[in-house]
Structure 1
């Protein structure tokens, strides 16, 4: 079977291009390596360009071309979604070239790389804290940047993830019936996260935990703990009386009222 002429031409060009690339990669001509790496970067062939840049970056350190080369080296990792190395290389760039015209973009991409490394909320959140730190540094360093709105949105997203993790830990205590730990965890969450989207559920969770602690206590502790639960209900209903959780909270409250023994009044003298 004879191949069409167009296909033969394409294969010839491809093979020639590959052989030229391998030749430049093997030889020590840094000028040709630099020109080819730049061409590959501009045409979006990041994986091939990266192999050349790995050879070029040490050779051009301290030279005029070093600034551009180090930036596109970091950005190549970013475009390849290798955010760990992208963040590291952009940090190196900002340290090496603090007066560069690309310093703001590099700082933002460094911070965003750490944001990209943040895992889902149920996993260890060290990278989330690192992302928050880097994004906040960018916001502080470039308060008038046009990238500030995006940076603020990323900060909000990461904070929400940390809040969700903390909230889910409190819920887990409630699910496993460790009511004392649940009350403490919900209480800490409410104190530490005044603007959280989970605040309503945290108030409700604290009340339910206190209610269940009370009704499952030994008799001598029941009344005191019912009164504590009633106090948590009052705090919940103060802010969330018109929410979807209010009807169920009311049922628990009515059960508390039915079980509470009125406090004895002090005799008058």
Structure 2
């Protein structure tokens, strides 16, 4: 190696050596900072940090979580917190009997809190996972009740009412002998009454607009589909009015006659009777009319 190259190497080594020795105090300081992590001074802090991660994997007893949920629901009235406890049982112990119970209690807590979508989700999952359970009927009923409690005013879209009717009919069909079937039947009448009310509301609107054909179609829906609701009396009276107005007096007479036969004390019958009489006619039933046939099907005629 030439003297020139040898001199250059020695200078580089010297510079590297100087740089190394100059960095020693800094390295020593860093080492001193790191040492306490394993020692006594900050060991407790490090242990707490690790413990938090370990807790994520330490399952609590299912019965403890379940009872805590019951306490929060019944004593503290904290339904949201109770739901979380019940969901935690299902998460930590998914195949246990406690999980099955907690899933139903979670649905109930959501329902009581007015969180209907979450209730429907939990109850649907319960019915899917435990269709043969004695509590499946109640879970199905919670689904129906959640839809029912969201039925809107007759002036709004009745899609939720349709869902409520379908869910209530499901309770009655699947669990006809359960106590919830009777409750579902009562709610079903209320939901059907709501749909009939919607038809009447639209029918009256068409009457005001003098669109009598459209109005008749709405009242016809009430008579053919919702005969057991409180709106059927008015529907027959409105049919009498609409048919008289457009000159189909035979149907007007039949509507008035069927109304009087089935609801003789109704104030709507008095209106229909007076309307027919004002035209020099009498309420007379045509057995071949769709109105008469509709009532015959249900044994009301």
- Tell me the TM-score normalized by structure 2: 0.63
Aligned partner (choices 138, 143, 160) of residue 110 of structure 1 = 143
Counterpart for residue 50 of structure 1 = 83
Larger Rg: 2
Counterparts of 2:102 and 2:266, CA distance in 1: 57
Aligned partner (choices 144, 155, 163) of residue 122 of structure 1 = 155
Say if 2:202 is the partner of 1:169: yes
Say if 2:279 is the partner of 1:256: yes
- What is the deviation of 1:169? 1.4
Counterpart for residue 267 of structure 2 = 244
- What is the deviation of 1:242? 5.6
- What is the deviation of 1:33? 8.8
Further displaced range: 62-71 or 124-133: 62-71
Aligned length, in residue pairs:
222
- What is the deviation of 1:123? 1.8
**Cα distance change, pair 165–173 in 1 and its aligned pair in 2 (3 A):** same
**Cα distance change, pair 140–243 in 1 and its aligned pair in 2 (3 A):** closer
Q: What SS does the corresponding residue of 1:31 show, helix, strand or coil?
A: coil
Counterparts of 1:108 and 1:64, CA distance in 2: 21
Say if 2:104 is the partner of 1:81: no
Q: What SS does the corresponding residue of 2:176 show, helix, strand or coil?
A: coil
Q: What SS does the corresponding residue of 1:147 show, helix, strand or coil?
A: helix
Counterparts of 1:71 and 1:199, CA distance in 2: 39
Further displaced range: 62-71 or 156-165: 62-71
- What is the deviation of 1:99? 3.4
Counterpart for residue 233 of structure 1 = 253
Is the 8 Å Cα contact of residues 183 and 206 (structure 1) preserved in structure 2?
yes
Counterparts of 1:251 and 1:64, CA distance in 2: 67
Q: What SS does the corresponding residue of 1:109 show, helix, strand or coil?
A: helix
**Cα distance change, pair 177–92 in 1 and its aligned pair in 2 (3 A):** same
Return 5+ residue gaps in structure 1 as ranges. Answer: 1-22, 214-224, 259-269
Cα deviation code 1:95-145 (max 9, x no counterpart)? 112233432322222222222222222222222111111111111222211
Cα deviation code 1:180-226 (max 9, x no counterpart)? 2112322333223333322221121112123334xxxxxxxxxxx2x
- Tell me the TM-score normalized by structure 1: 0.70
Counterpart for residue 35 of structure 1 = 64
- What is the deviation of 1:234? 4.4
Backbone CA RMSD of aligned residues: 3.0
Aligned partner (choices 196, 208, 217) of residue 229 of structure 2 = 196
Counterparts of 1:155 and 1:134, CA distance in 2: 9
